[in-house]
Structure 1
Amino acid sequence: MNRFIAWLPDRIDRRVRVAAWLSFLAQTIIIATGGAVRLTGSGLGCPTWPLCTEDSLVSTPEMGIHGVIEFGNRLMTGVVGIVALLVLLSIWRLRRERRDLWRLALVVVLGIVAQAVVGGITVWTGLNPFIVGFHYVASLLLVCVTAAYLVRLRTVPGPRVLAVPTWYARLAYASTVVLAVSIVFGVLTTASGPHSGDVDAGRTGYNAELLEHIHAWPGYALLVLTVALVIAARRRGLPVLGWSMVLLAVELVQIAVGLYQARNGLPPLLVGIHMVLAALMAATMTAFLLRMTEPAPAVAAATDAELAASAR
């Protein structure tokens, strides 16, 4: 055991970074596989939980393709959990020095456990649309946490201060609220639309067409706000210019996909892409917000001194 602990990283090296990227990718992929479950009508492919059937842990041939798809998504939960534990192990020796990373890694592990329980409740309630929507939002938040972890890997620990004007930060936070509103109404729209996950699953009863328009309004408002953020960052030479442009690019793609799917009868594949893009957009926003800060002057000076000493 001592030999194993000694083998674990004692600094942010390639092993730590690879584990972090695998965690981010796994959290994104499970949104895609979860979307596939619902969009193919496989939500009750495994009608019980935690077993797939009352007598079998895995799907059986009699359950057909729906059982395979649903059980595959359950297997993906195990993959996500294993990767999250690898991230936790990768910073075990750094848990005191980098408490920020340790806490984020713990949030992901605990979130995965909670998500497994929510997934079980989803099955027990016959794919209640509100619980299904909550399940998706929770997955999206875990994508954001893994994105925050990736950003924090490349930053100096310690107190941080704003690297942008206060008014710019407020505009960015307002954009985040608008994004959240758009995502919530997007979830409600999907919960009221045709892709229920199973022919017998209930719907919210809300007007899906009306919700579709309400979902689009904050999306367009977010686009306008992001354009303002990009222009301001470029004119002021702010350090977040790159991330603001990435955010704008993701939004443009998301809007294009949203418009196409709405005008072409909601093709399942495009709905799934729209779901994944929403998670990536939220992750990009997370990175953008975190990049608005920089180490406090005292921390930056100490870091420069350490680098100078190591150079000698």
Structure 2
Amino acid sequence: MLHRWFASQKALRGWALANLIANVGIIVTGGAVRLTGSGLGCSEWPKCTEDSLVATREMGVHGAIEFGNRTLTGVLIAIAAITLVAAWLQRPRRKGLVTLSAVILAGMPFQGVIGGITVWSDLNPYVVSSHFLFSMVLVALATTLFVRAGESDGPRLALTDRWITALVRVVLGVSAAVIALGVLVTASGPHAGDENARRTGFDPAAVTQLHADGVWLLIGLVVAMMLVFKSVSAHERVKRAGWALVAVIAGQGLIGYVQYYTDLPEILVGMHMLGSALLMIAAVSLQFSVRLRETVPEPKKSEPVAAQAG
């Protein structure tokens, strides 16, 4: 039973997926805190108030939403810890997966501290932005862990030329820059997490245009990349990863323009935040598509030795 739920390659892959989903989920719930104006629903940290560890009825829905998000952080830490145990129990033990799992787990308390600083700073927009960006780093690491958990540590087989691999890496860098610019747009816009929280002071229209420019640069790069994939008859694995990225960018672009022209409704802003996480997942996954490693085989169970006739 222990092997089935923790020590098998299939189990590790499952826990790595749960880890990734949880890291995306905490972004969505954190967005709900911000978009409902519940950023200071709990006025203190690590306690909710000076006198209470948890939200009280008097704090209303904002306190419940903020405390609920804090509670989910505990779930996230638990899943990350189980993932680390699963990586440790693998036979043969894979040092890279253990290290990656440990780094993700260590990032959870650090992320909680950044969350506490956002409360202490009364939702300083730059601290809030760093909170979101660090979540994106954890999503990227969790994506890497999920992919690597399904591979061996054997030699890598390149599926594309080096210059195409370099182009794929540029796409990842521009994707990260677009996400960062999107965070700046949100930090300059109306959704501060609390009606009294200050903003960056940047002109929202100007930073939105800068973000849009970055998006169009990304679109151009991805279109060029897909044309290259077609011209060189790229491996199906590479093309599938490319089309997944195209789908995410198309969805993000549609949501982004609709929310802009509809005065930033909360539901669309929340969907755009989820889309940012999906963009990171797609861009990171693309990096692994351009090379191939064999799937990790399950270790064969030893056959019982038949008793010799006396």
Fold-level match, TM-score > 0.5? yes
Residue 63 of structure 2 is aligned to residue 67 of structure 1? yes
- Determine the C-alpha separation between the residues in 2 that align with 1:59 and 1:10: 38
Per-residue deviation, 1:91: 1.7
- Structure 2 counterpart of 1:152, from 148, 151, 160: 148
Give the Cα separation in 1 of the matches to 2:219 and 2:253. 9
Q: Which amino acid aligns with 1:67?
A: G
- 1:95 to 1:108, Cα distance in 2 relative to 1, 3 A: farther
Deviation at 1:45? 0.1
Offset of residue 8 of structure 1: 6.5
TM superposition shift of 1:163: 2.2
- The Cα offsets for residues 171-212 of structure 1, whole Å up to 9 and x where unpaired, read as 112212221221111111110110000111111101111100
The aligned amino acid for 1:255 is: G
* Unmatched 5+ stretches in structure 1: 308-312
Q: In the alignment, what sits opposite 1:275?
A: 273
Distance in 1 between residues matched to 2:34 and 2:91, nearest whole Å: 38
Match 1:235 to one of 210, 231, 234: 231
What does residue 12 of structure 1 align with?
9
Q: Give SS of 1:91's match.
A: helix
The 8 Å contact of residues 8 and 93 in structure 1, kept in 2 or not, is answered as no
Residue 10 of structure 1 deviates from its aligned partner by 4.1
Q: 1:39 corresponds to which residue?
A: 35
Q: Pick closer, same or farther for the CA change 1:63–1:95 going to 2, 3 Å.
A: farther
The 10-residue stretch of structure 1 (68-77 or 97-106) with the greater mean CA deviation from structure 2:
97-106
1:247 matched residue in structure 2? 245
- Is 1:187 matched with 2:183? yes
CA contact (8 A) 1:95 1:102 kept: no
Q: Is structure 2 residue 217 aligned with structure 1 residue 221?
A: yes
State yes or no: 1:121 paired with 2:117. yes
TM-superposed CA distance for 1:144, in Å, is 1.3
**Runs (4+) of structure 1 moved beyond 3 Å?**
6-11
What whole-Å deviation, never above 9, does each CA across 1:93-115 have from its counterpart, x for those lacking one?
22863122112111110111110
**Aligned residue number for residue 307 of structure 2:** none
Paired residue secondary structure (1:46): coil
Deviations 1:145-189 (A, max 9, x none): 111111112212134353211111121122122212211111111
Residues 235 and 122 of structure 1: is their aligned pair in 2 closer, same or farther, counting only changes over 3 Å? Answer: same
> Is this contact kept in 2: 1:12–1:153, CA < 8 A?
yes
Q: TM-score, normalised by structure 2?
A: 0.90
Question: Number of residues paired by the alignment?
Answer: 296
Amino acid in structure 2 at the alignment position of 1:193: G
What's the Cα RMSD here? 2.0
* Corresponding position of 1:310: none
Give the secondary structure class of the aligned counterpart of 2:9.
Answer: coil
1:286 equivalent in alignment to 2:280: no
Identity score, percent = 39
Cα distance in 2 between the residues matched to 1:185 and 1:25: 24
Q: Is the 8 A contact 2:15 2:83 kept in 1?
A: yes
CA distance in 2, matches of 1:236, 1:256: 30
Amino acid of the residue matched to residue 281 of structure 1?
L
TM-score by length of 1: 0.90
Tell me how far 1:17 sits from its aligned partner: 2.2
Amino acid of the structure 1 residue aligned with 2:85: L
- The answer for unaligned runs of 5 or more in structure 2 is 301-310
Q: Is 1:51 the equivalent of 2:47?
A: yes
- How far did 1:234 drift? 2.8
Partner of 1:106: 102
